[in-house]
Structure 1
Amino acid sequence: MKRTTALILSLFLMLFTAGCEKDAENIIAGRIVLESTQAGLEGVSVLVIGAGEYYTLETDKDGYWGVEAQGDFTVIPRKIGYSFRPAQSEIRGAGRLQFTAEAEPESDFSKWRAAAILRAHTQRVSAVVWSVDDRYILSASDDWTIGITAAADGQMVNSLLGQSSAIKSLALSPEGSLLASGAKDGSIAIWDWRAAEMVHYFSGHTDWVTDLAWSPDGKSLASSSWDGTVRLWDVAAGVETHALQHNGWVLTLSFSGDGRFLASGTNGAFVSIWDLADLQKVKSWEAESGVTALAWAPQDLLLACGDRKGGISVADVFSASEAVDLAGHQGEINNLSWSSDGKILLSASQDRTVRLWDWERREEAEKILAQDNILAAAWSFDGRRFALGGNNREIGIWRIEPLERMLTVTGHKTLVKSLSWSPDGRLLASGSADRVIKFWDMAANQKEKTLTGAHVEAIETITWSPQGNYLASGGQDRNIYLWDKDGERALAHFTDRFKKPFFHAEGFEFAVGLRNVSHEDWVLSLSWSPDGRYLASASWDETVGIWDAAAGKQLEQIKNQTGWIRSVAWSPAGSLLAWGGDGNDIHIYSPRPAKEVMVLKGHTGWIRDLAWSYDGKYLASASADETIRIWDIEKGRELTKLAGHTDLVTVVRFSPDSRYLASGSSDGTLRLWDVFSGRELRLFSGFGGGLEALAWSPAGDAQMMMLL
């Protein structure tokens, strides 16, 4: 293996300046010029990558570079802030190459917003509503997000992030442009949901917001809470106008169809009717048990009331006639919802049934046996479909005639742990604690394939090979698998490990107790060599393994004397391997043979993540000390320290041109930085318990992220 950091031989200069047409024997050389002026570009890193040989060169003031070498090589020019044509070239034997460079414009991150979400909710679904055109279903979840799902195909196309606790209630304004969301922490957000922008944030409640309802004219919003109040809000002004006091938790509320009255129900089993003209309570009665759901019929003053014991009663509020009881449920009523024509009442219960009641006949028309506790239900505006959501994190879309489930909105069932974008930018791979890998078609914003049957425990890390022909995965089952690019099957399972010594009752010996795994403990990080021949793996077993990918054979083992290893990263030229974990230092190794060449000291906490700039000159590190550091590898020293996060920095990723750095943290924020000035360019907040990983698109115009 060879490494050269600024090799410009006089021979090359003589050849080029003399206009020599014949390449010198055993010389790979070239020039890089600016597209705008055709002048040579100085300081470009030129990566020359062959079979086990790696060279890092740098262009001189006239843009020339060269190296004495012969064989099959891939030549890749890289300079921060520039793109090149071609992006890389293949060369056989000696030869001369020319590349054209173009300065990339600075990115305007102020316009960035969530553009797509490629998963279903990761925790239970608490509320669902339909858009007024019935094209989308909006869903609230305990995962702190609001999902926007296309009703036609069940694909979740966007997500709203901004509140800092579980979202428990939703209500769409009558004309359909604004969405209100209520959270467990007492906050209420008003969203322009199509633009994915929060327009108001209300913080009057001191406890869980249990229900929300818009007045029919769309001017007012009512909210109920465990704090014992119903609050009325002037949405345009963004202020609270009134607070209606109750004895006990207020669990549910509903506006009458004409907007004159508001009904509220408490855990103390009382239903109250409020005249909104003077905000006086005009009627109240006690139900059989705690009131858990209320729903006014669209056209009449009929109010449906559900309670903790499974009872449903429908009463004409201002009539002397007896209420009608609808019997059948055996558990607490979670939700009541009338169809738009008022003919059918839908009820969802903790008895794991959903029932459709024919109001004209006063009887049950249909019963759905659910597999889970259904917490949320909502009719489409055309009355032909309804959506259900619950503890299983799925959203089911049903049609009425005939009664059947049309679609189920699903994604990973548990925490997504790793992301990797294919080199061509077409596919995004995601790995999850549910032991599943999914391929997502980025053009269509939809799931393309699901890979199962290999990993038997949570997947911790996945990564595409540089050529895009393989995907590698590692996880808590101590295994590393290699998958084909089409996601059809696992091609290889790495099991040829270095034996390590251990003690047992009979004495000391070298042996491996588990022969069918790749490491002795969780595989936490994977990184490919740039030529795709080798794969590096980091593990809780305190080792880094270097594998021959084709043979599935371990070639090198690096031992961390201080403990587990959390991250490993191969340099773009392939000549260096960086790793870190337990302990505050970052270790830089020459991979073959494995030999330490540098130790980077400065962090005061353990190392969580590492990422190389695309020219290989700089290394970014994320740490438990809540900082990010940028290291100049050639000088072996810290270049910049980025401070701003208030918790463990979980992930760092350079943009494709390495001008910018993205960082995620357990503090629930995503930050974008200017690498060299250290200036924070943009802060995105509201990511629940934090961010687990990030992945820039190859074009640098998008970024995927995963929540903890």
Structure 2
Amino acid sequence: MNQLLLDRSAGNIGPQAFARLYTSQLVNAIQYAPKLGFDGGEKEVNLEDSDTNREASRVAADKKIWAHQSGVNALTIDRFEGRILLSGGVDASIKLWSLDEVSNASSAHTLHPTGNIKKDQPSAHKFGITHLSFYPFDSAAFLSSSYDHHLKLYGTETLQVAGSFDLSSIVYTHAVSPIASHLLVACATQHPAVRLVDLRTGASTHSLAGHHGALLAVAWNPHTEHILASGGIDGTIRLWDIRKSGGSLGVLNMEDSLGITGTDGCGTGARSREAGKSHQVAVNGITWTDDGSYIVSAGHDERIRVWDAATGANTLASFGPSPKNSHLSNLPLLPTPTTLTLPGQTLLFYPNEQEILVFELHEGRLLKRLKVPGPSIAAVRSRTGERNVRNRITALAWRGAADGFYSAHMDGQIRAWVPRTKDDDSLDKEEDEAYRKDEDESEGSKRKRKVLDDVFRDLTRQKISFG
């Protein structure tokens, strides 16, 4: 870092290059922040009513905290200021957290929810939350989808329902365009057609038919408001132009590394491709890079693929045998913003069961593994009591280069991942050494005081006579 500052002050690098190099260093230095915790206020359940068990449960509850004891299914952070975190539980509860409290991840701090939609409230979902997202242009409202077939719109301050849509199928995930004026919410459900819900009119406007089987992933083009990508259990990824009556622009074919000339992802001047597979089996993860140039997908064939959005070509990036993916739910993929890293060096954070793999996006090179602490099997609270589940990562939410990202887990925890540079490690080491030194000095003072007390006590106990 000092060399970087020296080069900048000497004029060897420009301000934009300096910013990219600095943020690239931050992103590559992201690590787990163990001192930052999320306490949802839930205590362990006493299964038996004996005094011994009550006392043991009380002690255990005092030591362990959960964001959602039933497990965390969904996370999102407001995209404007990065100050509000929403989490959705397996038990249908939704909690709101203020990230303003997080001033320094190197110091111990526990966050408590500033708002809570409890599972027994009339406005709450009936079953687990599958996805959360903020209203595209204002963090004053957010959307939630659930296994109870409903998509709901809430006010962030009041936590009251402003709209509820029954889609008559399990909603695995939903997507809202960050730039569109049409305010259409694309929903991936058990139904083989993409369902579009209009927030302006409160109606389900129309469906996009073409898949064969349930849908598990949808994502809007971040630069073109009418282009949508969807993936389903039929192993295909379809591109849609919602302005067209038919809608479909065709499928992405994993066998095609050349693409179709004229397919620019905008539905203009292109012949559609209706045959081909994007993955051998179900596709449950789709996202775009923030510049709209590439589509990243993941499937149950345990492959990650990167597609050229302009031509639909498979770039043939090889990510090796490390990725694991087998759950029938939406898989969160997190590519870093392209402005944070050097050109062509975008990173991909991939939730790999109990670890987060960091890949170089375009080469597929594995850079590092971020290990998630905790047991592989977690005991969680359900409607029927306690049960054991396989612990895994269910959601990722990006906050910023300096603040990192957050992850949701089936063991009920929300974990923070922040940049940790060598300077931070050195500072922590100095603080620990200073703390230990103070402790040693304190212990030495206590021992000296004890010796003096013993001497004084011995002297006062003896009878002294003067002859």
Bin the TM-score by the shorter chain. 0.5 to 0.7
| Preserved contact between residue 415 and residue 434 of structure 1 (Cα < 8 Å) | yes
Q: Which secondary structure does the structure 2 equivalent of 1:609 belong to?
A: coil
In structure 2, C-alpha distance between the alignment counterparts of 1:448 and 1:649, rounded to whole Å: 30
Is the counterpart of residue 434 in structure 1 residue 409 in structure 2? no
The structure-2 alpha-carbon separation of the partners of 1:615 and 1:675, relative to structure 1 and needing over 3 Å to count, comes to farther
Is the counterpart of residue 415 in structure 1 residue 108 in structure 2? no
- Give the structure 2 partner of residue 649 of structure 1: 393
In structure 2, C-alpha distance between the alignment counterparts of 1:571 and 1:166, rounded to whole Å: 47
- Give the structure 2 partner of residue 456 of structure 1: 168
Match of 1:538 among 219, 231, 236: 231
In structure 1, C-alpha distance between the alignment counterparts of 2:355 and 2:363, rounded to whole Å: 21
Question: Residue type of the partner of 2:124?
Answer: G
- Give the structure 1 partner of residue 57 of structure 2: 187
Q: In the TM superposition, what is the alpha-carbon distance from 1:481 to its structure 2 partner?
A: 1.7
Is the counterpart of residue 42 in structure 1 residue 17 in structure 2? yes
Is the counterpart of residue 606 in structure 1 residue 325 in structure 2? yes
| Preserved contact between residue 533 and residue 549 of structure 1 (Cα < 8 Å) | yes
Q: Which has the higher contact order (CA 8 A, sep 6+)?
A: 2
In structure 2, C-alpha distance between the alignment counterparts of 1:592 and 1:569, rounded to whole Å: 15
- Give the structure 2 partner of residue 520 of structure 1: 212
Question: Per-residue CA shift, 1:615-665, capped at 9, x if unaligned?
Answer: 3722111124x2211122255422221112533332223224474122223
Match of 2:160 among 446, 455, 460: 446
Higher helix content, 1 or 2: 2
- Give the structure 2 partner of residue 567 of structure 1: 285
In structure 2, C-alpha distance between the alignment counterparts of 1:168 and 1:409, rounded to whole Å: 30
| Preserved contact between residue 439 and residue 448 of structure 1 (Cα < 8 Å) | yes
Question: Residue type of the partner of 1:610?
Answer: L
The structure-2 alpha-carbon separation of the partners of 1:579 and 1:606, relative to structure 1 and needing over 3 Å to count, comes to same
**Residue segments in structure 2 that go unaligned for 5+ positions in a row:** 1-7, 65-117, 253-276, 340-345, 377-390, 426-467
Is the counterpart of residue 639 in structure 1 residue 367 in structure 2? yes
In structure 1, C-alpha distance between the alignment counterparts of 2:322 and 2:247, rounded to whole Å: 34
Q: What TM-score does the superposition give when structure 2 sets the normalisation length?
A: 0.55
- Give the structure 1 partner of residue 179 of structure 2: 467
In structure 1, C-alpha distance between the alignment counterparts of 2:175 and 2:294, rounded to whole Å: 18
Is the counterpart of residue 478 in structure 1 residue 348 in structure 2? no
The structure-2 alpha-carbon separation of the partners of 1:561 and 1:440, relative to structure 1 and needing over 3 Å to count, comes to closer
In structure 2, C-alpha distance between the alignment counterparts of 1:81 and 1:486, rounded to whole Å: 40
Q: In the TM superposition, what is the alpha-carbon distance from 1:460 to its structure 2 partner?
A: 0.5
In structure 1, C-alpha distance between the alignment counterparts of 2:170 and 2:358, rounded to whole Å: 31
In structure 1, C-alpha distance between the alignment counterparts of 2:304 and 2:402, rounded to whole Å: 20
In structure 2, C-alpha distance between the alignment counterparts of 1:529 and 1:438, rounded to whole Å: 23
In structure 2, C-alpha distance between the alignment counterparts of 1:108 and 1:605, rounded to whole Å: 24
Q: Which secondary structure does the structure 2 equivalent of 1:42 belong to?
A: helix
- Give the structure 2 partner of residue 620 of structure 1: 349
In structure 2, C-alpha distance between the alignment counterparts of 1:422 and 1:581, rounded to whole Å: 28
In structure 2, C-alpha distance between the alignment counterparts of 1:485 and 1:457, rounded to whole Å: 19
In structure 2, C-alpha distance between the alignment counterparts of 1:432 and 1:461, rounded to whole Å: 8
In structure 2, C-alpha distance between the alignment counterparts of 1:658 and 1:578, rounded to whole Å: 24
Question: Per-residue CA shift, 1:73-107, capped at 9, x if unaligned?
Answer: xxxxx97979xxxxxxxxxxxxxxxxxxxxxxx99
Q: Which secondary structure does the structure 1 equivalent of 2:237 belong to?
A: strand
Match of 1:663 among 401, 407, 415: 407
**Residue segments in structure 1 that go unaligned for 5+ positions in a row:** 1-32, 46-58, 62-77, 83-105, 115-158, 170-181, 191-197, 202-392, 396-407, 498-518, 682-708
In structure 2, C-alpha distance between the alignment counterparts of 1:200 and 1:606, rounded to whole Å: 33
Q: Which secondary structure does the structure 2 equivalent of 1:456 belong to?
A: coil
| Preserved contact between residue 450 and residue 487 of structure 1 (Cα < 8 Å) | no
The structure-2 alpha-carbon separation of the partners of 1:461 and 1:200, relative to structure 1 and needing over 3 Å to count, comes to closer
Q: Which secondary structure does the structure 1 equivalent of 2:17 belong to?
A: coil
Question: Residue type of the partner of 1:523?
Answer: L
Q: In the TM superposition, what is the alpha-carbon distance from 1:583 to its structure 2 partner?
A: 2.5
Question: Per-residue CA shift, 1:211-247, capped at 9, x if unaligned?
Answer: xxxxxxxxxxxxxxxxxxxxxxxxxxxxxxxxxxxxx
Q: In the TM superposition, what is the alpha-carbon distance from 1:478 to its structure 2 partner?
A: 2.1
- Give the structure 2 partner of residue 588 of structure 1: 306
Q: In the TM superposition, what is the alpha-carbon distance from 1:571 to its structure 2 partner?
A: 0.8
The structure-2 alpha-carbon separation of the partners of 1:548 and 1:620, relative to structure 1 and needing over 3 Å to count, comes to same
In structure 2, C-alpha distance between the alignment counterparts of 1:648 and 1:80, rounded to whole Å: 28
| Preserved contact between residue 612 and residue 654 of structure 1 (Cα < 8 Å) | no
The structure-2 alpha-carbon separation of the partners of 1:650 and 1:113, relative to structure 1 and needing over 3 Å to count, comes to closer
Q: Which secondary structure does the structure 2 equivalent of 1:578 belong to?
A: strand
The structure-2 alpha-carbon separation of the partners of 1:186 and 1:449, relative to structure 1 and needing over 3 Å to count, comes to farther
Question: Residue type of the partner of 1:534?
Answer: I
Question: Per-residue CA shift, 1:446-494, capped at 9, x if unaligned?
Answer: 3222122xx2211001111112533211111223122223461223311
Question: Residue type of the partner of 2:155?
Answer: D
In structure 2, C-alpha distance between the alignment counterparts of 1:107 and 1:675, rounded to whole Å: 9
The structure-2 alpha-carbon separation of the partners of 1:107 and 1:676, relative to structure 1 and needing over 3 Å to count, comes to closer
| Preserved contact between residue 459 and residue 475 of structure 1 (Cα < 8 Å) | yes
In structure 2, C-alpha distance between the alignment counterparts of 1:661 and 1:635, rounded to whole Å: 23
Question: Residue type of the partner of 1:595?
Answer: A
The structure-2 alpha-carbon separation of the partners of 1:478 and 1:160, relative to structure 1 and needing over 3 Å to count, comes to farther
Question: Per-residue CA shift, 1:181-205, capped at 9, x if unaligned?
Answer: x99x972369xxxxxxx6578xxxx
Question: Residue type of the partner of 1:570?
Answer: W
Written as runs of structure 1 = structure 2, the 5 A alignment for 1:83-98 is: none
In structure 2, C-alpha distance between the alignment counterparts of 1:592 and 1:611, rounded to whole Å: 21
- Give the structure 2 partner of residue 490 of structure 1: 204
In structure 2, C-alpha distance between the alignment counterparts of 1:112 and 1:641, rounded to whole Å: 21
Written as runs of structure 1 = structure 2, the 5 A alignment for 1:550-561 is: 550-551=243-244, 553-558=247-252, 559-561=277-279
- Give the structure 1 partner of residue 98 of structure 2: none
In structure 2, C-alpha distance between the alignment counterparts of 1:44 and 1:533, rounded to whole Å: 32
| Preserved contact between residue 621 and residue 652 of structure 1 (Cα < 8 Å) | no
Q: In the TM superposition, what is the alpha-carbon distance from 1:113 to its structure 2 partner?
A: 4.1
The structure-2 alpha-carbon separation of the partners of 1:578 and 1:546, relative to structure 1 and needing over 3 Å to count, comes to same
In structure 2, C-alpha distance between the alignment counterparts of 1:108 and 1:665, rounded to whole Å: 15
| Preserved contact between residue 614 and residue 656 of structure 1 (Cα < 8 Å) | no
The structure-2 alpha-carbon separation of the partners of 1:413 and 1:437, relative to structure 1 and needing over 3 Å to count, comes to same
Q: In the TM superposition, what is the alpha-carbon distance from 1:110 to its structure 2 partner?
A: 5.2
| Preserved contact between residue 36 and residue 415 of structure 2 (Cα < 8 Å) | no
Q: What TM-score does the superposition give when structure 1 sets the normalisation length?
A: 0.37
Q: Which secondary structure does the structure 1 equivalent of 2:15 belong to?
A: coil
| Preserved contact between residue 640 and residue 676 of structure 1 (Cα < 8 Å) | no
In structure 2, C-alpha distance between the alignment counterparts of 1:493 and 1:460, rounded to whole Å: 16
The structure-2 alpha-carbon separation of the partners of 1:585 and 1:571, relative to structure 1 and needing over 3 Å to count, comes to same
The structure-2 alpha-carbon separation of the partners of 1:637 and 1:677, relative to structure 1 and needing over 3 Å to count, comes to farther
In structure 2, C-alpha distance between the alignment counterparts of 1:673 and 1:658, rounded to whole Å: 10
In structure 1, C-alpha distance between the alignment counterparts of 2:151 and 2:141, rounded to whole Å: 12
| Preserved contact between residue 125 and residue 148 of structure 2 (Cα < 8 Å) | yes
Q: In the TM superposition, what is the alpha-carbon distance from 1:675 to its structure 2 partner?
A: 5.5
